[in-house]
Chains A and B, each alone.
Chain A
Amino acid sequence: MNAWLSLTKKEFQLGLPAFLIALILYLGILSGGYFTGNYAGYTEGLLSVALGFVVILHIFFLPFYLYYSLSAERKRLHLWLHTPMSIAGLLSSKVVTGITFMVFTFAVFIIGSTQFFLHTFDFFNQETIFNLLGSITVFVFTLGFFIAALFLFFWSIFLTFSQRMNDFISFILTFILFLFISWIYGSLMDLSFMQTLTNWGSIQVNDIIVGFEFGYVENAFEAQAMSESSIFYIGHFVRDIVVAVIMFIAACWIIEKKVEV
Chain B
Amino acid sequence: MITLTNVSKRYGTKKALDHVNLELTPGKLIGLVGENGSGKSTTLKLIAGLNHPTNGEVRVNGEKVTRKIADSVSYLSELDEYYRFFTVKRSIEFQSSQFKDFDKEKAYEILKFMKLDPNDKLKHLSKGNRGRLKIVLSLARNVPVILMDEPFSGLDPMVRNSIVKGLISFIDLEKQLVLITTHEIREVENILDEVVAIKAGSIIGHHNVEELREQKQMGIVDWMTEVYE
Q: Interface residues, chain A, CB within 8 Å of chain B?
A: 2-3, 5-7, 10, 13-14, 75-79, 81-85, 163-164, 256-257, 260-261
Residue of B nearest to A261 (CB): B50
Q: Which of A13, A14, A261 has the most CB of B within 10 A?
A: A261
Contact check, A164 vs B81: say whether CB atoms are below 8 A apart: no
Chain A nearest Cβ from B70, distance in angstroms: 5
Contact check, A82 vs B85: say whether CB atoms are below 8 A apart: no
A214 CA to B163 CA, complexed, in Å: 73
Report B-chain residues with C-beta under 8 Å of the C-beta of A85.
98
Residue interface bits B120-156, CB-to-A below 8 A is 1, else 0? 0000000000000000000000000000000000000
A256 CA to B82 CA, complexed, in Å: 21
Chain A nearest Cβ from B45, distance in angstroms: 6
Contact check, B51 vs A261: say whether CB atoms are below 8 A apart: yes
Q: Does B12 contact A (CB under 8 A)?
A: yes
Report B-chain residues with C-beta under 8 Å of the C-beta of A257.
52
Report B-chain residues with C-beta under 8 Å of the C-beta of A81.
50, 67
Residue interface bits B46-63, CB-to-A below 8 A is 1, else 0? 001011100000000000
Q: How many A-B contacts are there with CB distance less than 8 Å?
A: 62
Q: Interface residues, chain B, CB within 8 Å of chain A?
A: 11-12, 45, 48, 50-52, 66-68, 70-71, 75, 77, 79, 81-83, 85, 93-94, 97-99
Chain B nearest Cβ from A12, distance in angstroms: 10
Q: Is the interface of A mostly helix, strand, loop or mixed?
A: helix
Instruction: Report, nearest first, the 9 A-B pairs whose CB atoms are least far apart.
Output: A6-B97, A76-B81, A261-B50, A78-B77, A84-B71, A260-B51, A84-B70, A13-B85, A82-B70
- 21 CB contacts below 8 A, A to B, read A3-B97, A3-B98, A6-B94, A6-B98, A13-B85, A76-B81, A76-B83, A78-B45, A78-B50, A78-B75, A78-B77, A78-B81, A81-B50, A81-B67, A82-B48, A82-B70, A83-B98, A84-B70, A84-B99, A256-B66, A261-B51
